[in-house]
Structure 1
Amino acid sequence: MTDLSHFKKMIEARLVELGGRMQDIETELESPKPKDLGDQAIDLEDDEVLEGIGRVSQKEVALLQNALAEIANGSYGFCKKCGGPISEARLQTVLYAVLCRDCAQIAQSGKG
């Protein structure tokens, strides 16, 4: 049986971590830009990387929030495709996993 309180704590901790990361990114993106054109070009490239990291973080936040909702409604830890349990090892690795290992492999291979 999956210990939901353990996973809830892990998800909440990850959300706090991501919130801090996104705040740091926002602060960096809002910082004044240098006057030197060469430095500005480097800053623009850096900003593109930071924006990409921010988008990925936002997507992970949404997935984690969905996982918290699943914990609340009792569906966390069950595969959305076959209905079977998702292993605790998989959930430890991917807190927001919605497919069991077998269904995820089938989906990744394009056969599902």
Structure 2
Amino acid sequence: MNTLALARAAWGTALLTVPHRLLHRAGGPGADDDRAVAVARVLGARHLAQALVTGAFPRRTVLLAGAAGDAAHGASMLALARLDPARRRVALLDALVATGWGTATWCAARSDR
């Protein structure tokens, strides 16, 4: 498994195992927000799955599909930030993180020519 896939797996594991702590540090609506915790865990599972797939098949097309998924996630977080003032801060931070993952994955795909 490559470094990017390992880093993504670590991030996904953190989202799955300590979502309360991450949401609190991000200034989210609070660790007692069951919906935010559930969403963080689902997102963690997605990151783990993406890490496994891109780690096992680090082909350009697979990486580009992953980068597109990250871009879509980032866009959805921007929409959430606009629609939900209580979750704005954490949604904007998550959009930034998704942009980082997408950029790193896109760069990995570009280097796999």
Q: TM-score, normalised by structure 1?
A: 0.41
For the pair shown, the structure with the greater C-alpha radius of gyration is 1
Higher helix share: 2
TM-score normalised per structure 2? 0.41
RCO higher in structure (CA 8 A, sep ≥6): 2
